[in-house]
């Protein structure tokens, strides 16, 4: 089975139509902040403006962007984060995922899946959402729950109410990846809801909030990180908790240059030394201004992007 050598050149994004504070998701996502005295229509307008700007900046840097619009028929205030319900892989597999919040389960779109199969020739659809019907239900929220090192064939995952060991094991079995699971804690000592807020893996580097990891797991995780023979860029807990600094994604553009996408808040929180290391391993650092998406949605730039890995030719 081939492993992708490079970051993807295409991303899938979903344009919001009813963006807002998601009460259901807030129970397990302490990165969300309630909007005080701001009508939902105003939040939607701001989020749409931020979304459009991200698309525009990606296209300016020659990254391919597939934009689908959310449906008004369902109330899906978090639809701007599609990487939680779908992932694509160069072995021809597409996965759809079980999600904890009932209104987030409505984000899964058969029409989008069918369009991807028709455009790019994927071979297999693996619907892990059946775990929602298990007793008790089990969840795995895509590349929010997992951060994948494709070169080393490792899946890193912080176990939380949204990230279950058994679903993780099934995912890894399909791809023949090794699982490195652990516990990571947020600012209020809660389990961090998604691994991708404290970790990002590029082709030649790993960005990680090491001190968010439970003490009993830390050395084991860091040993795996060091074994990857990639530059390690450590984040402070403050950078993770307050600025979404771990929520980055490396892409490639049509000139085959590397582009690291992050929010403006994340970029501004980085030290000169951290920026120097990231610049060394990327042709472009792209920071995008998404304060509404971050504060109200509780997710950042990486969460807005679902990677499209084209199937390898047979």
Residue 256 pLDDT more than 80? yes
pLDDT in tens, 272-308: 999 999 999 999 999 999 999 898 887 899 999 999 9
**DSSP-derived secondary structure letter, 67:** E
pLDDT for the residue 6: 78
- pLDDT higher than threshold 60 for residue 245: yes
Position 314 in a domain: no
pLDDT tens by residue, 53-106: 999 999 999 999 999 999 888 888 889 999 999 999 999 999 999 999 898 999
CA distance linking residue 75 with residue 69, whole number of Å: 13
Residue 115 lies in a domain: yes
Q: pTM score, two decimals?
A: 0.92
Residue 19 has a pLDDT of 62
> Does some domain include residue 203?
yes
Task: Identify whether the C-beta of residue 10 lies closer than 8 Å to the C-beta of residue 64.
Answer: yes
Average pLDDT, the chain: 91
Give yes or no for a contact between 262 and 247, defined as CB atoms under 8 angstroms apart.
yes
Q: Across residues 34-51, what is the average pLDDT?
A: 79
Task: For residue 149, give its domain range.
Answer: 10-308
pLDDT range class, residue 26, cuts 50, 70, 90: very low
Residue 27's pLDDT is: 43
How does pLDDT run across 196-218, given as a tens digit for each residue?
Answer: 999 999 999 999 999 999 999 99
In a domain, 80, yes or no: yes
- 25 has a pLDDT exceeding 80: no
For 29, half-sphere exposure in the C-beta direction (CA atoms, 13 angstrom radius) is 31
Cis geometry, peptide bond prior to residue 136 (ω within 30 degrees of 0): yes
Which residues lie below 8 Å from residue 112, measured CB to CB, with a gap of 6+?
12, 68, 86
Domain assignment of residue 4, yes or no: no
Confidence of residue 153 (pLDDT cuts 50, 70, 90): very high
The predicted structure's pLDDT at residue 76: 84
Look at residue 29 in the predicted model and tell me its pLDDT: 47
Alpha carbons 249 and 278: distance in angstroms, whole number: 12
pLDDT at 138 (0 to 100) = 97
Q: Give the number of domains in the chain.
A: 1
Over residues 161-201, the pLDDT tens digits come to 999 999 999 999 999 999 999 999 998 899 998 999 999 99
The pLDDT of residue 1 is: 47
The reply to whether 313 falls in a domain is no
Q: Is residue 1 part of a domain?
A: no
- Domain with 82 in it: what CATH number? 3.75.10.10
Condensed to tens digits (0 to 9), the pLDDT of residues 303-314 reads 999 999 999 875
SS3 content of the chain, % helix, strand, coil (to 5): 35, 25, 40
Please report whether residue 5 resides in a domain. no
């Amino acid at each position: 089975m081939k492993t992708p050598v490079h970051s993807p050149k295409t991303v899938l994004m979903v344009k919001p139509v009813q963006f807002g504070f998601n009460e259901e998701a807030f129970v397990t996502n302490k990165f969300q902040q309630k909007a005080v005295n701001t009508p939902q229509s105003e939040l939607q307008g701001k989020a749409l403006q931020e979304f459009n700007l991200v698309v525009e900046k990606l296209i300016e840097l020659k990254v391919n962007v597939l934009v689908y619009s959310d449906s008004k028929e369902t109330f899906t205030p978090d639809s701007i984060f599609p990487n939680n319900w779908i992932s694509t892989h160069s072995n021809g597999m597409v996965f759809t995922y079980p999600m904890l919040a009932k209104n987030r389960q409505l984000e899964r779109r058969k029409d989008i899946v069918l369009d991807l199969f028709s455009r790019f020739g994927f071979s297999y659809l693996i619907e892990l959402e059946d775990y929602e019907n298990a007793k008790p239900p089990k969840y795995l929220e895509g590349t929010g729950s997992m951060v994948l090192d494709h070169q080393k064939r490792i899946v890193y995952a912080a176990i939380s109410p949204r990230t279950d060991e058994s679903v993780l094991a099934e995912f890894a079995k399909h791809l023949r990846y090794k699982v490195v699971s652990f516990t990571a804690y947020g600012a209020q000592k809660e389990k961090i809801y998604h691994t991708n807020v404290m970790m990002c893996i590029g082709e030649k580097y790993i960005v990680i909030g090491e001190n968010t990891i439970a003490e009993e797991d830390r050395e084991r995780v860091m040993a795996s990180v060091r074994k990857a023979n990639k530059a390690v860029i450590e984040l402070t807990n403050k950078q993770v908790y307050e600025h979404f600094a771990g929520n980055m994604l490396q892409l490639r553009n049509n000139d085959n240059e590397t582009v690291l996408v992050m929010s403006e808040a994340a970029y501004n929180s980085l030290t000169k030394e951290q920026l120097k290391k990231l610049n060394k391993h990327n042709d472009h650092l792209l920071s995008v201004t998404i304060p509404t998406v971050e504060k109200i949605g509780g997710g950042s730039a990486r969460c807005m992007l679902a990677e499209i890995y084209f199937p390898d030719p047979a």
